Amino acid sequence: DAAEQPAYRLYYRALEKGETRMLAQESSPGIPAGWWISEQQALYFSRDGKRLFFGTAPRPGAPDTSAAEIPEDEKVVLDIWNWQDPYLQPMQLKDLEKEQKRAYLAVLHLDRQQIVQLGNQTIPEVIPGSKGDAAVALGISNLPYRQEMSWDYPDYYDAYLIDLNSGKARQVLEKVQARPELSPQARYLFWWNRQQLAWQVADTRSGTPRMLCTGISHPLQNEQHDWPYAPDPYGVAGWLEGDREVLVYDKYDIWSCDPAGKRPPRNLTKGFGRESDLRFRYVKLDPETEFIAAADPLLLSGFHRENKTAGFYQILPDGSAAPRLLLSDRKTFSDPLKAKMAERLLFTREDFREFPDLWVSSGDFSDMQRVSDVNPQQKEYRWGSSQLIEWTSLDGEQLQGILYLPQDFDSTRKYPTMVTFYEKSSYEVYKYTPPGPHRSVISPSFYASRGYVVFEPDIPYKIGYPGESAYNAVIPGITYLINRGFIDEANIGVQGHSWGGYQIAYLITRTHIFKAAEAGAPVSNMVSAYGGIRWRTGISRMFQYERTQSRIGGSLWEYPMRYFENSPIFRADQIETPLLILHNDQDGAVPWYQGIELFVALRRLNKPVWLINYNNEPHWPVKYQNKRDWQIRLQQYFDHYLKDAPAPIWLQEGVPAIQKGKTLGLEAEG
C-alpha cells in the first residue's frame, strides 16, 4: 500500500567515532516538493568521499480504492493501445515494475550539507563524471524518440551537461544516434557522429562540439558493415592520463588523437597492421585502471584477418617504434590479466582440439607454462580437426569458412556432411568447441567424432536480399567441397537456428542439394512477422527488418516485393527437402506462429515436415533435459537421412497428444 510506505532518511555513521547523524529526509532543502528519498537507487560515494549520491522519486499518491467497490463480475481488465504512446503496450507492461521503481539521481555535498537534484522526469539518466569527483555529470534522455525505436535503429538520444553544484542542466546534443560518454576525468564529452562517420568531442566547460581525429585517411567505421543503418565505429581503446589523448581504432591500427585539436593524429602502430593484414587492439591488463599510462609499453592483441592466427605485440605509447612481436600461433587467446604485485600474466589458450586451460607467463610470453589440465579425458575420444577453407561466391567475392574433419580423415573416402551457419564465424577456426548438448545448434566436435564432415561458411549480405545472399555464399561453398571429392553429395544435411533457421528455410526453396534440413525458430513470412512483437521485450519487430539483421532496408510499404521474395512461405511449394522445425511456444524473439505457418503450409502441400515445441521454453531450450533431448532428436534425424539409420518412432509415426508424457518416441521402430 503506497500510503503505508515508510519515508526513508539518510544517516551517516563515522566508524572511528561511533557517531551517527541524519543527513537527509523528505523535507530536506534540495529535494523537490512532493518527492522523497527512494530506496530503489543504490547509495554510493564519490571517489574522494566528498559527495554522496542517492535516489529520489515523486511520492506516490493515495491508492485508488474505488475499484475495490466494484463487484467482481463487473470488473473490466483490458489494455488500451494508443497510436501516440511512446512505447507499445506490451513494452510498457514489460517495463512496468522498472518504471514503478524508477529513481532520479541526487547528490549530497557532505562538506556543506547541500542537496542538489540532478535527474528528473525529462532527464531520467544521469552519470556523474570521474566517478563522482568531477563538477559535471552527463544527462541522457531518449524520451522524445521512443516511438521511433519501433522502426529505426540505433536509438536516438539527447545529451545534457549537469552542474553538480547547482543542478543546472545544459543541453549540448539533440537527437544523436549514439550514446555519448564522458572522458575519465570528465574534461570531454565524446560520441560517434553516424551521419558524418566520425568521432566528435566537446569540452565540458564550453559544450562546443568539434571533430576528433581529423586528418586520418583511413575509415574509422566498420568497412565490412552490411546492415541497413550507418556503420558503427571500430571503437576506442582508452584515454591517456589527464584526458590528454584518446586512442581510437581503424580496421587494423591504433591512432592517438588530441581532443583539444592542437596536434594531428599519430598512428601508434605505424600502419603495420594495415600493411600486414593484422587487427591490433589494446589489452587492458588491469580492469580497474581508468587511464592508459603514458610512459608504459602497451600490450596489444594481434589477429591476422586472412589466416586467423592470433598473438600479442608491444608498442610504446608515443608511437616511436613499430609493434614488437611477442607471440603468434594458430590458437585463440583470451586477453591476459596481470598479477597485482608481479610481472606475471594469466590467460587461456585454445584451438579446436585444445581445451582453454590456464597459462601463466612473463610480460613478454617468453616462459609460458600451463597451470591447469581440466579435460585430460579428451584424449580417449575421437575428436577431429578444423581447417580454414576459401571459395568464390556467386557474386565473385572471395569467402572463407571452417571445415571440421573426422579423426583419421581419408580424402579418398566420401563422408556424410553437415552444413551449419549463422552469419560469419571463420574467425573461430581455432576455437575449442566441447561436445555438450547445445541449446539449438549441432556440435561440430560431436558430429566430426561420429564420422561427419561439418562445413560452416561465412555469409556477406546485400541489403534487401538476405535470402539470396545466403544462397550465393553457401551453395558455391558446398559445390567447392563436392569437387574436392570427399563429400558424399547424396548425403548433405543443413542445420541452423534463428537467423540461421530463416536462411535454411529460404535455401530449401531455392535448391534440392540437401537431403534433410532443420530450421530452428525460423521467420517464414516476413510480411506477417514485420507487424509482430518481440515478446521478451515487448518491442515492435519492424526495426529488425528496416534497419538490422533481416536487412530489408525499409518498410513493408516501401519495398513490398523484398518482403515477399525473402519469405520462404511464398515458395513453400518449391520445397522438396524433408524439414524438421524447432519452435517453442514461449519464444520471445521470433513468434512461434512463424514456425507454425511453415509447418502447416508444408503439411498442406503433403511434404515431410515435423515441428518440435518444448512447452514453456523460450527462443531455444533452456532446461538441460530439453537441450539433451533436442540433440538426441537432431542426431536421430540426420543419422536416418544421411546414414540410413533406422527412423525413431517420433520421426516415423509421431507422438499423439494422448501419449504425451507417456512416451518420448525415441526408440527405433522394430
Residue 379 CB coordination number (10 Å): 8
Of 536, 530, 582, 579, give the one whose Cα is nearest residue 551. 530
Give strand pairing partners of 213: none
Region of 138 on the Ramachandran plot (φ > 0 left; ψ -120 to 50 alpha; else beta): beta
C-alpha cell at 430: 581455432
CB 7 within 8 A of CB 37: yes
Inter-helix orientation angle 499-510/466-484, to 10°: 70
Which one-letter DSSP state was computed for residue 132?
G
CB 190 within 8 A of CB 248: no
Question: What is the pLDDT, as a whole number, of residue 68?
Answer: 72
Which one-letter DSSP state was computed for residue 169?
E
CB 409 within 8 A of CB 485: no
Low pLDDT (below 50) residues in the chain: 1
Cα separation, 223 vs 221, in Å, equals 6
Cα separation, 551 vs 464, in Å, equals 6
Q: What's this model's pTM, rounded to 2 decimal places?
A: 0.94
CA 630 to chain centre: 24
Collapsing DSSP states into helix, strand and coil, what is residue 155?
coil
Q: What are phi and psi of 390, to 5 degrees?
A: -135, 145
Cα separation, 307 vs 429, in Å, equals 10
Collapsing DSSP states into helix, strand and coil, what is residue 57?
strand
Residues 521, 527, 533: CA angle, nearest 5 degrees: 60
**Alpha-helical runs (H) found in 499-614:** 499-510, 526-530, 542-546, 560-565, 593-604
Share of the chain above pLDDT 70, in %: 99
Burial zone of 251 (CB within 10 Å; 0-12 exposed, 13-18 middle, 19+ buried)? middle
Give strand pairing partners of 176: 157
CB 447 within 8 A of CB 383: no
Side chain identity at 226, as an amino acid letter?
D
Question: What is the pLDDT, as a whole number, of residue 198?
Answer: 98
Could you tell me which residues come within 8 angstroms of residue 51 by beta carbon, excluding any fewer than 6 positions away? 45, 107, 108, 109, 110, 128, 132, 164
CB 182 within 8 A of CB 163: no
Cα separation, 573 vs 606, in Å, equals 10
C-alpha cell at 530: 514485420
C-alpha cell at 74: 463487473
Give strand pairing partners of 648: 668
Distance set, CA 257 to CA 247, 285, 404, 553, 668 (Å)? 6, 22, 43, 34, 66
Fold of 382-659: Rossmann fold (3.40.50)
Cα separation, 247 vs 240, in Å, equals 8
Give strand pairing partners of 312: 301, 327
Residue 459 CB coordination number (10 Å): 24
Q: What are phi and psi of 58, to 5 degrees?
A: -60, 135
| pLDDT tens digits, 127-145 | 999 999 999 999 999 999 9
Q: How far apart are the first and last CA of the chain?
A: 64
User: Cis omega before residue 154 (within 30°)?
Assistant: yes
**What is the domain partition of the chain in residue ranges?**
1-62+80-174, 183-330, 334-380, 382-659
Q: What is the DSSP string of 455-495?
A: EEE-----TT-HHHHHHHHHHHHHHHHHHHT-EEEEEEEEE
Residues 577, 583, 584: CA angle, nearest 5 degrees: 160
Question: What is the pLDDT, as a whole number, of residue 3?
Answer: 54
Question: What is the pLDDT, as a whole number, of residue 19?
Answer: 85
Q: What is the DSSP string of 485-502?
A: T-EEEEEEEEEEETHHHH
Cα separation, 639 vs 647, in Å, equals 9
